Amino acid sequence: MVTLAFKTVSKEYPNYGKSVGLPLKTWWTRIIRLTFKDYAITDEACNALYEHFNTANAYHIFPDGMQLISNLGPAGFNLGILSNSDPRMRVVLERTGFLKYLKTGSVFLSYETGFEKPAPEAFHLASQIVNATAPHAGLTVDQKLNAGSDKNLLLWHVGDDVDKDYKGALNCGWNSILVDRNAEFLKEKTALDSYKDASGYHYYSDKTLTVVSSGSEPVRVYTSDMSRIAQLFE
């Protein structure tokens, strides 16, 4: 119900209502009321729900996700957030402990930029602002996976949506990692498995991680465990 309400309101009032001048809280209240349309939900209940999602208690933090950023941040990687979300995300990032690991100025929210993934503009804007470049065609897979002093010049995207995250990043020349915790996108792993014996491709796969790369294309990664991602850069 929430997903349907979100899609319905988003279609009528794009970009969290910003494009038509609708206040953010009003936009979310419309979703709440549409979700509970069969109930006599009060204004107080709407306000309580809205405020609840400003707190860390409203979100489940996957331990492997926190482990990943806590390992890569101190190791010198410039970490950022590229998200289809509104400004409340900044509050959530701070209250959940993620913000301290992110590079200053590297939180890109669609509400503020005006571009939602998988739009190329969303990825291009982020790459320009962090002064990075797309993966270089001449790099070998070893250089891409263990870039040494150049690791911050290579763009990697980690996400759990096939079209908006994984394919959106690949289409813009970014190395792309698909996190599939519930085995919803096994066809993407199957697609990577097809490169196993292909000439010119590096292929690696085990129970929770599959990696495909060539000298001229971005690295493509499928994993069910985010903690495995850090191992790519060791």
Cα–Cα dist 80/99, whole Å = 9
CATH code linked to domain 60-233: 3.40.50.1000
So where are the chain's domains? 2-52, 60-233
pLDDT tens by residue, 58-96? 998 899 999 899 888 888 888 999 999 999 999 999 999
Find the mean pLDDT for residues 124-151: 59
Its pTM stands at: 0.87
Cβ neighbors of 213 (< 8 A, separation 6 or more) are: 141, 144, 145, 201, 202, 219, 220
pLDDT tens by residue, 214-230? 877 889 999 999 989 98
107: left (phi over 0), alpha (psi -120 to 50) or beta: beta
CATH architecture of the domain with residue range 2-52: Orthogonal Bundle (1.10)
